[in-house]
Structure 1
Amino acid sequence: MTKEQNIRKRKNESPIKENNPTEIKENDSKEKKTKSGIQFPDLGKATRSTTHRVWTRSVMIISVMTVVYFYTKDSKEVKFALQKETIPLRMQKVPCSQKYLAEMEEFPKCVPSTCGRFVSDSLITKTETQILLNLVKDVLKYGGSSGGASILDLHSGALSQGDKFINVYSLPQANDAFKKESLVTYRLVKSKIKTAIAQRFGIDVDSLYLTHPTFFSRITNETAKTIHDEYWHPHVDKETYESFHYTSLLYLNDYKKDFNGGRFLFIDGMEKNKTISAIEPKMGRVSAFTSGSENLHNVEKVTDGTRFAITISFTCNSNFAINDPKLSVD
C-alpha cells in the first residue's frame, strides 16, 4: 500500500471517541442527586415497602452526614437577619446557576435581573400574621405529625396526622377553623409577596404563578418518625420541587422567644470559602429567593419550642400553576 493510500485510509476511519471528563462528572452528579428538605405527600400513594423505606433512610443518613461535614468544616457565618432587627429590605445578590438560567430562557419575562435572596419585615402586618398563625394552630388540632414536622396545605387539603397524611377537608369538625377572614388574609399575603418578588428580581408580576407545594409548617423537637419529618437536610428547591422558580417564606413566630434552633441557613461556596448566611425567624418576616442551586439552604433543627412558618412557592410555567383555595366560606 502506498503512502498516499495509507493517509486516505486513516482519514476515512471513524475517530475513537474519548470520554469527556466534564460529561462524566455531570452525569455522575445527576445519578447521585437526592431530594432533601420537607418531603411533600402524594395522597394517592398510601404505602411503601419497609425494605425501600429502610434503604432510603440509610442512604439519606449517610448523604446528610457527608454534606453536613463538608458544609460546616471551616465555614464562617454571616448574620443575614437577626430577630431583634427590623429590616425594611435587605438583599444579597449571588450569581445565578447555569442550569437555572438555561431553564429560565423558556420564560423571558421571568428571568431575574440578578439571582439572590432578600428579607423584609415591612411587607406583612402583625395582624395579618396573627390571623394566619391562629388558622394553622386551629387546624392542626385535628392532626399533627408524630415526628417533628407537621404540614397543612390549603390547596390539596394535605394535613399531617401521625405518620401519614389525611385530607383535612374530609373532617367535618375542621370546618369551623376555616373562617372567611383567614382565607382572605391568606390570599392577600400571597399577593403581597408575589408583587415583592417581581419588584426585587425585576420580572413581570403577571409571569409568576402560585405553585405546588405551598404549605404551612409546624416544627418541634420531637424525634423524626418518617422521612417527612426530616426537614433539616441541605437542599436546592428546584431539585426537590420541579415547578419552583422563586421560593418565599413567611415566619409566623419568633426565634428565641417561641423556639430555639430553627434558623434558616443559606450555604455559599465550598471548602475553606464556605459562608453560612443565617436568617433568624421573626413574626411577620418574609424571606424570598431564586430557587436554583445558587441558593443551597437548610433549616436548623429546632431544639425546643414550636416554630411556625408558611412556604409560598411560585413558578414561571403556567402548566404548574395552582388556584387559590376555594371553600364554602367564600
Structure 2
Amino acid sequence: MKKSRRPVQAKESKMPNPFVIVGALACCVGLGITYWNKTDVITSDFVERITRNISCSHDYKTLPYFESCSPRKFCGRIVSDNIVTMEEVSKLLDIAKRGFLHGGSNGGASILDLHSGALSKGDKFVNIYAYLDENSLRKTFNPKDLKFYSSVRQKVHDAIQEQFGINGKKLYLTHPTFFSRITNTSAKTQHDEYWHQHIDKIQYASFDYTSLLYLSDYGTDFTGGRFVFDNPKSYVEPKKGRLSFFTSGSENPHRVEKVVSGTRYAVTVSFTCDPSKAIKDPTLERRQP
C-alpha cells in the first residue's frame, strides 16, 4: 500500500492517531557499547548499550534540513537498558493504567496521548481532558504525574542528543508522543492494525528521531509483540526499562509482531528538528476536542 508523506490523523477526533499507520566494540568497550552488524535478536538479557550505524536515506536530502540537528551523515539504531530506572518504569506504567481505565479500543491497540489528550475509546477517540469531569480528571492525574512524565521524557531527549551528537537545544518533542497498550484482541478498525511495516518519517514528516520505552516484559507479561527492524533485519525483545531509539527515515523500516497473549505497554516519544512542529510538555489545563 502506498504511504502518504502527510501526517495522518484520526477522522473521528481530529487528534493525532499513531495507529492509523496501516499499520524507536572494540574501540568502545570501556563505554559498554557494542555494535551489532548481522541479523540479530536483542534478547531480554541486560544490554548497557548496543548500536547499529546505518547510512542515512535520501529522505533528508528532499525534506527541510535543520543544521546541527537533522540526520544526514549519521543514522542508526540504539538499544539501552541503562537509561531509565525500574522505579521510573513503575511510575509511568501506573500513570498509563490510570488513564486507560477510562477508555480502551475495541480492538487490540489502544493509545493515550497526554499531550493532545487523545484516548482510544471503542472504535473512536476521545479527548480525556474534555471527556472527564474536573474531579475525575484530578483523581486520574495530578501535576506531579505530568512533571514526572516530563522528566523521563527529558532523559530520552538527552540520550538521543548524546548518541547522535546533535544540538539538544534544536531537538524538540513532537506529535504523536503517546502510551500504547496492545493485547491479542482482534482488530476492529484500521487503527488497531499496528503490525504493518512502516517508516515514521513518511507517516509523519516532522519525525527525525523516534524512541520507544518499554513498560512490560516480553515472555512474562506478554508473548509475541517483538519490535522488528526490517532492513537490515533485527529483532528487539521488549523489556521493562529498555529504551530503543533510532533515526526516523527510510533507513529504519520497522513493525511490531502481533501480540499473542498478555498485555504489552510502551511509550513512544517522538522528536523533530523543526521548531514549527514542536509541542510542549503536558499540563492539566482543560482542552477542547
Tell me if 1:116 matches 2:83. Answer: no
Please state how far the C-alpha of 1:100 moved relative to its aligned partner: 2.2
| TM-score (normalizing by structure 1) | 0.75
User: Where do residues 45-84 of structure 1 align in structure 2 (5 Å cutoff)?
Assistant: 45=14, 77-79=39-41, 81-83=42-44
**Alpha-carbon distance in 2 for matches of 1:211, 1:41:** 17
8 Å contact kept, 2:12–2:124: no
**Alpha-carbon distance in 2 for matches of 1:184, 1:144:** 24
8 Å contact kept, 1:260–1:304: yes
Tell me if 1:306 matches 2:263. Answer: yes
User: Where do residues 262-277 of structure 1 align in structure 2 (5 Å cutoff)?
Assistant: 262-268=225-231, 275-277=232-234
Other-structure match for 2:195: 232
Match of 2:58 among 73, 87, 98: 98
Q: How many residues align?
A: 262
Root mean square deviation, CA, Å: 2.3
**Alpha-carbon distance in 2 for matches of 1:238, 1:151:** 20
Tell me if 1:166 matches 2:123. Answer: no
Gaps of 5+ in 1: 1-31, 47-55, 62-75, 269-274
**Alpha-carbon distance in 2 for matches of 1:255, 1:315:** 29
**Alpha-carbon distance in 2 for matches of 1:44, 1:228:** 13
User: Where do residues 138-177 of structure 1 align in structure 2 (5 Å cutoff)?
Assistant: 138-170=98-130, 171-172=132-133, 173-177=136-140
Q: Which has the higher helix share?
A: 1
Other-structure match for 1:53: none
Inter-CA distance 228–137: structure 2 relative to 1 (3 Å threshold): same
Q: Which has the higher strand share?
A: 2
Counterpart residue type for residue 149 of structure 1: A
* Percent sequence identity over aligned pairs: 51
Match of 2:2 among 9, 12, 33: 33
**1:141-177 alpha-carbon deviations (Å, 9 max, x no partner):** 1100000000000011010000000110121224312
Larger radius of gyration: 1
Other-structure match for 2:247: 290
Please state how far the C-alpha of 1:249 moved relative to its aligned partner: 0.6
Please state how far the C-alpha of 1:326 moved relative to its aligned partner: 1.3
**Alpha-carbon distance in 2 for matches of 1:43, 1:206:** 35
Inter-CA distance 276–323: structure 2 relative to 1 (3 Å threshold): same
Counterpart residue type for residue 259 of structure 2: V
Inter-CA distance 202–102: structure 2 relative to 1 (3 Å threshold): farther
Could you say what secondary structure the match of 1:231 adopts?
coil
Tell me if 1:253 matches 2:219. Answer: no
Other-structure match for 2:171: 208
Please state how far the C-alpha of 1:138 moved relative to its aligned partner: 0.9
Inter-CA distance 255–86: structure 2 relative to 1 (3 Å threshold): same
Other-structure match for 2:273: 316
**Alpha-carbon distance in 1 for matches of 2:250, 2:240:** 27
Other-structure match for 2:92: 132
Please state how far the C-alpha of 1:232 moved relative to its aligned partner: 0.4
**Alpha-carbon distance in 1 for matches of 2:225, 2:110:** 14
**Alpha-carbon distance in 2 for matches of 1:86, 1:204:** 29
Which structure has the higher relative contact order (CA within 8 Å, separation 6+)?
2
| TM-score (normalizing by structure 2) | 0.85
**Alpha-carbon distance in 1 for matches of 2:61, 2:266:** 29
**Alpha-carbon distance in 1 for matches of 2:59, 2:143:** 41
Please state how far the C-alpha of 1:311 moved relative to its aligned partner: 0.4
Gaps of 5+ in 2: 24-37
Could you say what secondary structure the match of 1:214 adopts?
strand
**1:40-66 alpha-carbon deviations (Å, 9 max, x no partner):** 5355459xxxxxxxxx99xx69xxxxx
**1:2-35 alpha-carbon deviations (Å, 9 max, x no partner):** xxxxxxxxxxxxxxxxxxxxxxxxxxxxxx6225
Counterpart residue type for residue 274 of structure 2: N
Counterpart residue type for residue 34 of structure 1: K
